[in-house]
Structure formats: C-alpha cells, structure tokens
Amino acid sequence: MNNFKVITNATTIINDNLIIDPWIYGDVYYSAWSPYPDPKYSRKKLKKIKYCFISHIHPDHWDIETIKVFNKNVKFFIPDLIYNRIIEKRLRAEGFKNFNYLKFGKLYKVSSEYKFGVVPALNQDGQEKIRHYKKDNPPGIDASLIVQTQNDKKNHLILTDNTPYNYNIYQKNFGNLKITSCFFPYNGIDDYPLCYDNLSIKQKKTITKKRCLNREKALLKFFKKIKPEVIIPHSSDFSLNVRKKEFSILHSGEFMEKDLYSERIEKISKIRCIPLYEDDILYYDGKIFHEQISSSKKSRTRLRQNVKVIIPKADFKSKLSDLMDQSFKNYIFRLKKYNFKIKYFDNWKLFINLSSKEKYLVNPSKNELKKINGENISKKNLLILKTSENLFRCILQRKLHINNCGGACILSWKRYPNKFNKDFNESLNFFHL
C-alpha cells in the first residue's frame, strides 16, 4: 500500500517519507507569494522525511523555512543542471550534507522503496513560442519526477510546474514506461499578462483564459498518450500579496480552484481526477486508488493574512550610471560565456524607466547601453521596464534577482509588439554586477 498527499502547490508527500518540492511554512518571492490554502501541516510529521526531490531553482519549490524543519540526514535529489548548484550551496549553509544529482532519462534506484527518473523541461515551446532552438542554447530549468514504488513497480509522474507541451521530449526519455498516476499543473500563473500594463483588464482576462485553454489542450493530448489511471491537479496553488484585486479578477473559478478544475478536466478527459488538499490522503494498493477526504470548504480556502512584501534597501554610494556600465559589460560577457546567440534576440531592446531623470536603453544587438535624456524611443521590438531606482539597484547589486522579481509580480512591464522572445528575456537574468 502506498499513500499520496498534496499539501500545497507542488508539495507532494509519498508514504510520509518522500517529499517533492517542499513549500509549507515560508512566504517566497520576497513574501509576494504565500501558500494557498494556508497550510497547517504538523512540523513533527516532517521529521519522518528521508528523501527530498527538488525539481528546479524557483523558491516556491524549495522553501527554506520548510526545509529547516527536516532532519539533517535527509537525502536530497536534484536534476543535474548547473543552475541547481545554487540549491546545494544554500542548503549546505543550513547544515545539510547529502546531495545527489540525477541525469535526465534514467531510472535510479535511490532506496529499497523507490526508483527515481527525472524528466527534462517539456515546456520550452509552451505559451509563447518565439524561441530559436539550437543545441547550444541553455536548457529549460523545469523538471519532473517519475517515482517508481518498489513494492508494486508502479510509476507515478509528478510533473510539478513542467506543463507537457512537448511530448516528443518525454517520449524520448520515458515513453516506454506505463504511468499509473499523473500529478499535473493546472494553472501556471506568472507575471504575464498580469504585470504588462500596456494591456487593459479586458485584454488581460482574454489572454489569461486563452493561456489556460492552451495549457489544458496540451495536458489533454499528453494524458491521451500516457493513459494514466488517475490524474491529480497540483503545482498551481498560491496567494499573491501584491496586485491582489487584479489577480483575483484574472484568476478565479474553475481554472484557479483545483476542486472545480478537477470536475472540469475529468468531464473532458474521461479520466478519474482527484483533487487533494492538506487533510486528504490518496491510497493505492497496487490495483485500486481510493481517497480519504477530510478537508472542508473552510480549510480549502484558508488565506494567510497580513503578509507584506519585503524589498531590501540598495546601496546608493555608487553612481547609477557606473552600476549600469559595469552591469552591461558583465551582461555581454555572460552572454558569450553561456552561449547565448545575440542574433536570436531579433533586435529586441530593453528600456529601463526608473524616474524622469534615470532612463536607459539596453541594446545587446548593437552592444550599446545608452542613457536617455528626452529622446524619442522607437517602439519596434521594445520591452519597457518601469520600477523604482531602489529596486533596480538591488537587482544590479544582486540583492534581488530580476527573474524572481518578475515571478513576484513587483515589476511593471510593457512590450511592443506584444510578443515574447524567450532568448532575449532569459538573457536579462545576467544583467547585474
């Protein structure tokens, strides 16, 4: 007999000793995100954890406040990507010592209870598709986990954030495995279109609905291929502590609440869909799934209250122009180091608007950083960032990370045209000292 719990977001616990993507107690993305529903999971129960899998570097998948509760002898399993060394470095500072890196496409026996298989990013050609595919481009950071329980040799696919837009990649790695259950992301909220303020609320609602339907279409195709016995929605649950009113307008109803979404996708897919909350348990005896539902409407909609976003204070001793110059030089150097091809940026530029006196244009295609003093800027292939000087200095000084600030929805963007160049946007992660 094996049992499964979904605590919140992607946090899934199997047999009380394996946890995937732990996030229970802390607020993440500078406290812009809180877990939803607000979990009350016992800290004593986490002392039973022996194994922890972390799918990728985003902070809602490895909350420090949750991991601190673990015993120090917990074994961590992490996809073998260079970015993920950040996770090990941070956790070693907390006294953890047992780290195991797993390559994609192979089943590893990690104990007498489990084999693990890591699935690479399936969402690289997802919602917005302007990306140039080359072998030397950086791989996607998202990953999924196949857990093969050794007492029954059944395979359980925990997708986490990794929406399966690209079945071919999955098939190449694990297409030969029979999947018994699939835990899938049913929402996938990010800062687009929420924080793109050249769009009206009506336009944002239309885009949000379209993205939800596109994700659902990919999921349905994937389920048809892998034919799981049951599907379980997860990895889409959190409350936002900024832009609350707008967030609630864009994300509500059946694409936000997983019990409602379960009804929807079960009806469409004809596959049994089981929503699990913190107090619920799904059992599998090797033949039949049966659930023990103890959650209530109150516990399913419990919100964490009075959480304030935390933005550090930047160092204002240096001139901003000097910080910008050095950060731009570092940016160009890192693009070469990490094999970004600037020609794939399609001449996209970044216009940084911090105040009436502090505006800059970043144009990597021309290897140019320019301070703007009233000149008109062409809106052709232009991404505009508007934020405070303090916040942007924090990004340059590496007190904040621009990717996490985007995830936190604390930046305001505009783009012309309203298209997404993934190569260019990803490159901005390297614009700092």
81: enclosing H helix or E strand? none
The domain ranges of the chain are 2-300, 320-430
Is the pLDDT assigned to residue 20 strictly greater than 80?
yes
**Confidence band, pLDDT 50/70/90 cuts, at residue 256:** confident
The string of pLDDT tens digits covering residues 131-178 is: 444 444 445 789 999 999 999 999 999 999 999 999 999 999 999 999
Which pLDDT tens digit goes with each residue over 347-396?
Answer: 999 999 999 999 999 999 999 999 999 889 999 999 999 999 999 999 99
Residue with tokens 């050609």: 125
CA distances from 358 to 361, 382, 400 (A): 10, 18, 19
- The mean pLDDT value for 429-433 works out to 96
**At residue 252, does pLDDT exceed 80?**
no
In angstroms, the Cα distances linking 84 to 2, 49, 59, 139, 319 are 29, 21, 12, 12, 33
Which two structure tokens, joined as six digits, stand for 374?
A: 């009233």
Strands 107-109 and 154-158: unpaired
Lowest pLDDT segment from 134-138, 290-294, 398-402? 134-138
Identify the band that residue 127 occupies on the pLDDT scale cut at 50, 70 and 90. low
CA 305/CA 342 separation, integer angstroms: 44
Contact 20, 53 (CB under 8 A): yes
Domain 2-300 carries which CATH code? Answer: 3.60.15.10
If DSSP codes are grouped into helix, strand and coil, which group holds residue 90? helix
Q: Is the pLDDT higher at 430 or at 188?
A: 430
pLDDT of residue 185: 95
pLDDT digit string, tens, across residues 185-244: 998 778 999 999 999 999 999 999 999 999 999 999 999 999 999 999 999 889 999 999
Give 24-73 pLDDT, tens digit per residue: 999 999 999 999 999 999 999 999 999 999 999 999 999 999 999 999 99
Averaged pLDDT, 317-340: 96
The tokens describing 129, both together, are 């598709």
Decide yes or no: CATH 3.40.50 for domain 320-430.
no
Non-local (6+) Cβ contacts of 252 within 8 A are none
